[in-house]
Amino acid sequence: ELKVEQNPLFLSMQEGKNYTIYCNYSTTSDRLYWYRQDPGKSLESLFVLLSNGAVKQEGRLMASLDTKARLSTLHITAAVHDLSATYFCAASGGYNKLIFGAGTRLAVHP
């Protein structure tokens, strides 16, 4: 059974600092997703990673995938307040049903 673990679950960051969120999954998955959720809102797609070594970047966020280690990372560069949200990773569990991690609640403060 595919399981997805994220850490940390809570992250308090100072503006301008860098940090990484980790996402481990338990069995082979052909796709890894990152989503953002603002409080009371829906999920916004950030990245879809398909292959080993895949790296995608959008603004201050960069996601990577290591399929051999079953690990994906979401790296935040020079955090700003607007990045405060909950970030979810999800692995595809066949037919693209998404198995989500618990989410990382990120708070960026001055």
Partner 1 sequence: DSGVTQTPKHLITATGQRVTLRCSPRSGDLSVYWYQQSLDQGLQFLIQYYNGEERAKGNILERFSAQQFPDLHSELNLSSLELGDSALYFCASSAEGGYTGGYLAETQYFGPGTRLLVL
* Positions that interact with partner 1 (CB under 8 A): 30-31, 33, 35, 41-45, 48, 50, 88, 90, 92-103
Strand pairing class (10-14; 61-66): unpaired
Minimum Å gap between C-beta 9 and partner 1 is 11
Minimum Å gap between C-beta 16 and partner 1 is 31
Tell me whether residue 10 or residue 16 sits nearer to partner 1 (CB atom): 10
Minimum Å gap between C-beta 77 and partner 1 is 23
C-alpha 105/C-alpha 95 separation (Å) is 28
Name residue, tokens 């603004």: 59
Strand pairing class (32-37; 10-14): unpaired
Using DSSP, state whether 69 is helix, strand or coil. Answer: coil
Tell me whether residue 43 or residue 80 sits nearer to partner 1 (CB atom): 43
C-alpha 51/C-alpha 104 separation (Å) is 23
Tell me whether residue 95 or residue 110 sits nearer to partner 1 (CB atom): 95
